[in-house]
Structure 1
Amino acid sequence: MNVGDFDSFMRQVHGHPPFPWQSQVVTEAVERGAWPALVDAPTGLGKTSMLDIAVFLLAMSAGGEAPVGLGRRRIYMVVDRRIVVDQAEQHGRLIADALDEAERGTICWETAERLRSLSSAREGDPALRVVKMRGGTTWDAAWLSRPDLPAIVTGTVDQVGSRLFFRGYGVSARRRPIDAALVGTDSVIMIDEAHLAQAFTAALASASELDSSEVLGLPSTSIVHLSATAVEQSDGWSAQFDEEAHRLNVTADRRLRAAKTLSFVDSSEKTIVKEVAGRAAELASRPGARVLVVCNTVNRAREVHDALISRKKPSCVAETMLLMGRSRPLDRERIAERVTELFGAEREQTPVSVILVATQTIEVGIDLDATDMVTETAAWDALVQRFGRVNRRGDFSDATVTVVEDNAEKPPVYGQAKSRTAAFLRAAACDRLDVSPLALRHVDVPSGLTAEPPLLPVLLPAQLDAWARTGPAPSNDPPLDPYLHGIKKATAQVTVAWRDGLVDAMGELLSAREAGAAVDALPVRSEECAELSLRAVRDWLLNKKPSVMADVDEFGDIPFSEGESDARVLRRAADADWQWVAAAALRPGDAIVVPSRYGGLDRFGWNPVDHESVRDVAELASLRRGRAVLRLDPGLGDRLGLESPPVLAESRAAWLNAEDPAEREEVAQHLVETVREWLSGEIVPADGSPWTAEDLTDLRKALSQGAVVFDGDDASTPPLLHTSSPRKAWQGVDEGTPADSSSLNRRVSLADHLKAVAARSGQIADNLGLPQELSRVIVDAARWHDLGKVDRRFQAMLFGGSEIAAELAEEPLAKSGMPQDDRAQRLRALRLSGLPRGARHEAWSETIVAAHLQSLEELYPGDEDLLRHLVASHHGHDRPLLPPVDDPGTHTVDADVEDVHVHVSLPTGVRLADADRFVELNARYGRWGLALLETIVRCADMTVSSEGS
């Protein structure tokens, strides 16, 4: 392969050649052996294809034609617009599909084979993973199974940044080191419109300088700023945009010269809604018009949308839509699909007209092509992004942009930059202003028209050291939000899910234990959550006047509201127990669950003045993840958008009233058949339901064809009807209790499990090209990581709680064979075994390993401290301490597995020396380097376990 093959690569993937700037980036990156710090290309000229460039360079590095370390296994596209994250993911999937479907001998086939070689994958395996950052507190939050896999990852600043700094929002504490390692090593992070994320980019640069250990030999994180409104970068080289070369390219020239003229209109805060709605309706009176209205806040977007709906629309207007990022993905995706159908650049032209009212969510990356635009004044850089959504392909001869100024004294979101931009446009647009991409590159823009950059806190080693401590986190944990968004910005985010079943028949909140059990029965998925500002949620819970909120996190210094309210929300505490908390207790990054009856959301998204009960979409989120689950409560029909038959309520009542176990089992089976029969016919969801007919068909097939489990033993939660959970390799291990992490659908001996995990760890280490001495330590840690399971009580637990069965067994087990879905059976075995609450077999494993090392005749030929740490931390603890366990009495174990033959006393207290060891290892291997070494062992353990070994 050589740089000239990039032309063929783009033609095979996308059906067209690259733009000149894209080919130049490939050539110059190979020549320099480094990524550009800045890519400055006009909007509409394919900045998202930096993903294609990154994949191609990775293949060249894998084959030796590009410098080692130029290509990176993990390619991140960070876009601080929630809907655009979805579109970037779609672009990545287009690349991945082209690689997997490539014909032998083509450049795509060669690229795919090289990417597979990076992880020892076989022909036919996916060459490139494409994943989107997800939240959640279970292992379903995992987004990549192994650190040697090539992947494209999309996410927002909060999603990627919080994971990089060991504080993943909505991620379990034990998962955080894995996520940090996957973001912070062997990666290139591309930040679209990086001027919107200056605090994050500054924190990234500081972290790279403060953690530069090269012991692992892997490239550190590279940062690429993508922008159509670029600011100068002091470090690294910039990819230049050659205008003349692009004017010789027919497609590029048409897009650069795409005609669009701007007119400026003065209005007021009282009249702007009427002004904007009136002008949009007038533009939409033309046949085939696609009018895009952009507002600066969610509040105003709703007002304009309502005004357009209430006024008498022109007869040719087919629809008036509202699109915002502050919504649940399951609600937003149906609107986004319709928006793409009607406004997408590749749409089919029709005579009907459509109006789309949107927030800043459309500014970056989303491929819309409106015929006209009406927009509020914003900061200049934001307006440039909006102009790029009009006549994007250059197919229209008379596209118009109308900028309306409300002359607010204290403009929200953009502050005085908005007012100064209005003054500039008021003068510049008196005879209409050409805002084609080519013209914009030559506009003499005065200073002060872009939003003032946030105050950037200085990142110190002490902050990184504190964040690296994930188990347990320090009590005085430094706040992360200022390093993602800057100081004095009311930008802190919380993630909110709405659920039924959290109140009793009288409308009172259930106890935290009962409510938490109801949530855990059907874990929260990111698809059912909305990301909202902390201040907006607090104001809503306190019944305050709704605070102004936009789809960008660029607010001024706004104090939080104070007050008291009876409203409580459910939040998981540090000890994994659920608790009801008040508004004042909410913190940045919290993931909360609120009762559906609180309202606050409609089909378009966040609406704090709407008090109607919110539709619970937990079943739909689970189905989209591949698992059919139904909560058999009175609200089931409403959640599915269907009318429940009376027989369903009767069957459920019969089950609740059955006391005899045999009768109860018979009635339960009848309840299952009733549900199946209800869903067996032709079913159509009600208008406004997020469920599609295809969703309901998939649900019916899953419940009629698969093995269905009825789970109704816990009286505190509604009975569940679900299929066995088909999990991906790394998602099949729940580390909540010893029984959870040691359960598979078949028994596995300890010796076989240790051998398999050691082999997988060695394979990953070799694929990453780690030094041989480090690979040796990793493999040894993997083949000894579960030695603590030889404890008699632990073995009894693995044999269903029977100490006699454990004693009679020929060899110790690693996995019990108890069904993963039968949590009750696993907990019963745990109780009968006598294992103390919270017992950690990894603590016992480390004790055995330490004794084994002392028994060796010759010194261990590796880093003993690292070895012991990797064993002790293989479930995410011991960073820097293992959790305390009340284990009375003295206990010993005889470890006689493979080459280990020792008799030891088990530890009875927390080893404080582990904290000193943790500090030394972070200094030796780097904070992200140590996390990566842990990740190799942990991912090997999880993938091997869920594969049945």
Structure 2
Amino acid sequence: MDRLMPPVHRCLGMLAMPSKLSTDFAVAFQQLTGLAPFPWQEDLYRRFISDDTSGRIPSVCRIPTGLGKTSLIAVWWIARQHGASLPRRLVYVVNRRTVVDQTTSEVERIWQKMHALDGGEHFAISTLRGQYADNRQWLANPSRPAVICGTVDMIGSRLLFSGYRIGFKSRPLHAGFLGQDALIVHDEAHLEPAFQKLLETIQDEQQKERERNGDLPWPGMHVMALSATARSNAKNVNSEGHQPFELTRKENSPPNVIPEPPTEPIHHVWRRLKAKKTLRLHACDDEKKKLAVDVVERALQYKDSGKAILVFLRTVEDAMSTIGSLESEFPGQVAPLTGTMRGYERDRLVQGNPVFARFMPESDRPKNITLAKGTVYLVCTSAGEVGVNLSADHMVCDLTTFDSMTQRLGRVNRFGDHNDAGVDVVHPNPDSFDEKHPLALARKATLALLKHLHGDASPKALGELPADSCIAAFSPEPSILPATDILFDAWALTTILDKLPGRPPVAPYLHGVAEWEPKRTNVAWRDEVELITDELIEREGGNFPRELLADYPLKPHELLSDRSDRVYGALQTLIAEPSKSLKGEKHQAALDRAQKNTQTHVWLIDESGSVMVTTLGKLLDDDKKRVIAWLEDSTVLLAPSVGGLSEGMLDPMSSDADDVADHWLDENNQPRRQRVWDDAPPPTYEDNGSTKLMALIRTIDLNPLSDEIAEPNQEGELEREVASELESNQISNSRQGRFWHWFARPRDTEDATRASSRPITWDHHTHDVVTRTTEIVQELDLSEDLEQAIILAAELHDLGKQRIIWQRSIGNPNPSDWHAKPGKPTHGARWRPRHLSNYRHEFGSLLDVEEEHAAKLAALSDEMRDVVLHLIASHHGYARPHFPPEAYDHERYDTQQNQHAAHDAMRRYARLQRRYGRWGLAYLESLLRAADWAASAEPSPVPTTHEVKA
């Protein structure tokens, strides 16, 4: 079994300040949430702080929608603050990314309340949207508690060492932190049975590793399935004999008459369980042709109500048709929410859409927003079913499977505030279902269940339906592929980037294989697709596009997702000859656009991060089935000039599209990263009242053979022009310069080597890393020999930077003056890092340690010697299991010495993975990596004498 975590004062270290958080749970819960706790929340708290280690964390938690499930985050935090032995990281996994994610809102509120109580930072957070979206706070310090909110794809791919849209260097870091000392809470687990099975398999595999190889000095991964509905009648008794955690008996037994107004927390539970939702069923004669028409007709029955009407439809086509019809009747009173919207536009819904705000709880609404008046409609596909904190007055929808239907019903009169909520379900005649459709039987069974409700769609009525009948009405369970120890081994080999026999893509293991669900493709737009030429790729190497995406990763707000066949059709339309109905100048303009698009680059990115660069014409000239197969589970990166985007959705008839990569913003709407041209000043940002420089992470020379560089004239007109264009965010490709500088805040860089805004000497950085490492390991319950090994690795990790070739690669004008970080000196020109060789400084460090510090290694046990050398080798993601030959150090060592060190690194990786397990070794590596990254992001003050003058 996992070792118990150390007492809370040891876990929190410098965060363990005298807290104003009450020692009484009910008072503390109200301090953090503004609400008195429900009985089930008090029950869970008692479970968390109990001495019964086997039952402390329930494996199954069944709480109905609308009863505060996300508040278990507050319960976890209070329990930890009160000394409970719980994992440091709570990872809350939602089915899909939505606009108004309840978990995000809950976490941000709790953090703000804690900040108001005590000041300080408390736990780190990373959320799906908003000011903490996709940040790296949780990776900065493994001893710091953290809450991470993510989707099945985001969290699942990272757990399997295959993180989508992160470079291979960072994948072990994510896997280690998510897979150790973490509580994975899988919300609505019944919707993703394959992922739930995968989590349980990983948990079991980790337990086997510990039993086989000996316990580890930190806890492993714990899994909690959070769902109101189960796909099985099984009692879900865990291995220790504990039943699922549920509402208390009293909560589950509301009286006939509920006190009004409610005066006790349990009154609110009863109110929500018995929330009035009058169900009406309407048959549709021809679902294929008339469904949208009938839904609109039912929706318009509420046109004079002045209420917020929620409309759900299964297909994007029906949703768009419905939106068009309602918009014609109520212009400006209709908002869409589909899974095919780009994240940027979906986020803007919550930021200021007056229609959407009508469906949000008051606590979630943006400040100072003016609500739309009168009757409003929100038209959704399944994107609005899960994780969205919405409450409509009435709902109109088509018929779906029971698991989806219960999610939809949870978005109507969510809090039981009124007694006239209506639900209108438009369904096919029982004898007109398309029997060939894989969901036909489940939809038929769902219709029978709805009829059985006799007009009462309250949560209590749903909970009293026969369990067997409910299970029969679920969407069919996908084929669940077994994840084996051999697969875990293969996925953990993160430095092998090419396709590896026996290492399949991870997507089918996250979602299962459901033949009835169409495959999907992500689409995004980036300027570099058009600006990075074939000649530049040939000069920089075939992996250049992949390296660019690792430096400047695609973020969720840049992506839209649609069916792969629809994406294929849209791409075809972008290069198709215009219709003959167009005449004259319009026909010629459309023809010119199609011909230009045919020759324009497109980047096709598979789930492993490999990039295929071609043109739209060449891509689509291949066999249709083969192209669609390439598109499945991949990302298509287009140039904005090709168009194809309208109101955040894929529209091949639109000539518009934009690059929003720089719109990754913080809570003050400041960019976290920025790309600028030529010699524009480095971008700045505000941090705690002071202005700081971003770190230069890459300079791209778009014309490396040119001898001329555009220089600003004496009046600085060019610089002012660049600054003006940056401010308007409308840099024209026709006015691009030669040098394209990519910046990011030091905390938001993927590669710690480039995380500084100013040059940092080798001595100074090494001292900072040792200091950070010491702080981290002293806050963890590690053995003394392991602590000392990790600190020694920090002391020696960057020896390989003491090479002329490496110093020149970071732009050091005096390469014999050892520096660890490039940047811009206070007095002098900005250093311009450039690619000179594939030498890896950590490989040079390995060689130097064994050559020059053999005495320090000899004082260690064999295992600790392996730990020191592996942490040095892996602190930028290599040595899992290997270094490529081009990484060798030929400046100081001969080929035989290089080969010997490379072979030893692979054998050492295998030994340590057997000892610490796959996720345990990744976690161990991450202790030094986190310290290195934190020291790079926030270096200690540097005397001016350390800076290199121009």
Q: TM-score, normalised by structure 1?
A: 0.77
Are 2:600 and 2:639, in contact at CA under 8 Å, matched by a contact in 1?
no
**Which residue number corresponds to residue 537 of structure 1?**
567
Give the drift of 1:394: 1.4
Instruction: Please state whether the residue corresponding to 2:183 is helix, strand or coil.
Output: strand
Are 2:935 and 1:934 aligned?
no
- Following superposition, the deviation at residue 126 of structure 1 comes to 0.3
- The residue aligned with 2:877 is 876
Q: Secondary structure at the match of 2:144?
A: coil
Aligned to 1:26: 45
Give CA-to-partner distance per residue, 1:861-894, whole Å, 9 cap, x none: 452222211111111111000122176967349x
Aligned equivalent of 2:95, options 51, 61, 80: 80
Tell me: CA distance 1:334–1:80, structure 2 relative to 1, closer, same or farther (3 Å).
same
* Aligned pair partner of 2:124 in 123, 126, 129: 129
Q: For the residues of structure 2 that align with 1:35 and 1:608, how far apart are their CA atoms?
A: 47
How big is the shift at 1:389?
1.0
Q: Report the equivalent of 2:250.
A: 244
Rounded Cα–Cα distance in structure 2 between residues aligned with 1:435 and 1:420? 16
Give the counterpart letter for 1:664 in structure 2.
E
Query: Do residues 155 (structure 1) and 150 (structure 2) align?
Result: yes
Report if the CA contact (8 A) 1:672-1:721 is conserved.
Answer: no
CA contact (8 A) 2:442 2:475 kept: yes
Report the alpha carbon displacement of residue 462 of structure 1 after superposing the two structures with TM. 0.5
CA contact (8 A) 1:198 1:453 kept: yes
Deviations 1:828-863 (A, max 9, x none): 6x65xxxxx100111121122223564469542452
| Alignment correspondent of 1:944 | 935
Would the alpha carbon gap of residues 387 and 720 (structure 1) be closer, same or farther in structure 2, given more than 3 Å must change?
Answer: farther
- Let me know the Cα RMSD of the aligned residues: 4.2
Match of 1:920 in 2: 911
- CA deviations 1:756-815 (Å, max 9, x no partner) are 312311221221212222112111111111112233544565683556xx2xx5xx4434
Match of 1:626 among 659, 671, 684: 671
Q: Secondary structure at the match of 1:190?
A: strand
- The answer for the alignment partner of 2:758 in structure 1 is 745
Alignment of 1:668-707 (within 5 A): 669-674=716-721, 699=727
Q: Does the CA contact (< 8 Å) of 2:277 and 2:421 recur in 1? A: yes
Tell me if 1:486 matches 2:512: yes
Counterpart-to-counterpart distance in 1, 2:360 and 2:857: 71
From the superposition, tell whether residues 238 and 663 of structure 1 become closer, same or farther in structure 2 (CA, over 3 Å). Answer: closer
- Tell me whether 246-255 or 7-16 shows the greater mean CA deviation: 246-255
Inter-CA distance 528–261: structure 2 relative to 1 (3 Å threshold): same
Structure-2 separation of matches of 1:822 and 1:422: 73
Gap change, CA 1:463 and 1:536, over 3 Å in 2 = farther
How far is the alpha carbon of 1:148 from its aligned partner? 1.7
The Cα of 1:28 is off from its aligned counterpart by 2.4
Matched residue, 1:341: 357
- C-alpha contact 1:72 1:187 (8 A) present in aligned 2: yes
Query: Is the Cα contact below 8 Å between 2:523 and 2:635 reproduced in 1?
Result: yes
Conserved? CA contact 2:434–2:440, under 8 Å: no
Change (3 A) 1:228 1:864: same
Query: What SS class does the counterpart of residue 496 from structure 2 fall into?
Result: coil
Look up the equivalent residue of 2:325 and give its one-letter code.
A
Retained in 1: the 8 A contact 2:396–2:425?
Answer: yes
> Who is 2:18 aligned against?
none
Question: Which residue of structure 2 aligns with residue 596 of structure 1?
Answer: 640
Query: Once the 2 structures are TM-superposed, how far is the Cα of residue 17 of structure 1 from its aligned partner?
Result: 0.4
Q: What does residue range 645-794 of structure 1 map to in structure 2 within 5 Å?
A: 664-666=711-713, 669-674=716-721, 699=727, 718=737, 727-729=745-747, 731-732=748-749, 734=751, 741=754, 745-750=758-763, 752-794=764-806
Partner letter of residue 199 of structure 1?
Answer: A
Residue type at the aligned position of 1:672 = E
3-state SS, counterpart of residue 192 of structure 2 = helix
- Residues 803, 891 of structure 2: 8 Å contact kept: no
Query: 2:478 aligned with 1:454, yes or no?
Result: yes
Displacement of 1:627: 4.8
Q: Which amino acid aligns with 2:32?
A: V
After superposition, the Cα gap between the structure-2 partners of 1:389 and 1:165, relative to the gap in structure 1 and judged at 3 Å, is same
Shift of 1:509: 9.7
Counterparts of 2:104 and 2:219 in 1: how far apart (Å)? Answer: 24
Q: Deviations over 1:165-185 (max 9, x none)?
A: 100011101010001011101
- What amino acid is aligned across from residue 800 of structure 1 in structure 2? N
Cα–Cα, structure 1 residues 129 and 753, in superposed 2: closer, same or farther, change >3 Å? same
Give the CA deviation at 1:676.
Answer: 5.6
Distance 1:934 1:747 in 2: 24
Give the TM-score normalised by structure 2: 0.77
State the 1:678 CA deviation: 8.2
Q: C-alpha separation between the residues in 2 aligned to 1:463 and 1:403?
A: 45
Structure 1: give runs of 5+ residues left out of the alignment: 103-108, 110-123, 546-564, 634-655, 680-698, 704-709, 832-836, 894-903
Match of 1:548 in 2: none
Aligned amino acid, residue 850 of structure 1: E
Pick closer, same or farther for the CA change 1:748–1:891 going to 2, 3 Å. Answer: closer
How do 1:206-605 residues align onto structure 2 when only pairs under 5 Å count? 206-212=201-207, 213-214=209-210, 215-231=215-231, 232=234, 233-235=236-238, 236-242=242-248, 244-245=250-251, 247=254, 249-267=266-284, 268=286, 269-286=288-305, 288-310=306-328, 312-313=329-330, 319-337=333-351, 338=353, 339-346=355-362, 352-406=374-428, 407-409=432-434, 414-425=439-450, 427-428=451-452, 432-444=454-466, 446=469, 447-473=471-497, 475-476=500-501, 477-489=503-515, 490=517, 494-500=521-527, 502-503=529-530, 524-534=554-564, 536-542=566-572, 569-571=602-604, 579-580=613-614, 582=619, 583=627, 586=630, 590-603=634-647, 605=648
Partner of 1:896: none
Evaluate the alpha carbon distance shift between residue 540 and residue 567 of structure 1 in structure 2; reply closer, same or farther with a 3 A threshold: farther
Find the counterpart in structure 2 of residue 613 from structure 1: 656
Shift of 1:284: 2.5
Corresponding residue for 2:588?
none
Q: Distance in 2 between matches of 1:318 and 1:26?
A: 46
**Where do 1:130-145 residues align within 5 Å?**
130-132=125-127, 144-145=139-140
Distance of 2:100 and 2:221 partners within structure 1: 20
Structure 1 residue 364 displacement after superposition: 2.3
Give the 3 Å change call, closer, same or farther, for CA 930–625 of structure 1 in structure 2.
farther
Q: Which runs of 5+ in 2 are unaligned?
A: 1-7, 9-20, 255-263, 576-597, 620-626, 679-702, 941-950
For residue 414 of structure 1, report the CA deviation from its aligned partner: 4.1
Structure 2: distance between partners of 1:491 and 1:204: 24
Deviations 1:388-424 (A, max 9, x none): 1111121222111111114441687845311321244
Partner amino acid for 1:885?
E
In structure 2, what is the Cα distance between the partners aligned to 1:821 and 1:491? 58
The structure-2 alpha-carbon separation of the partners of 1:370 and 1:3, relative to structure 1 and needing over 3 Å to count, comes to same
Alpha-carbon distance, 1:333 to partner: 1.7
CA distance in 2, matches of 1:620, 1:129: 22
Q: CA deviation at 1:283?
A: 1.6
Q: Report the CA distance shift for 1:944/1:589 in structure 2 as closer, same or farther (over 3 A).
A: farther
Counterpart Cα distance in 2 of 1:281 and 1:453 = 36
Conserved 8 A contact 2:749-2:755: no
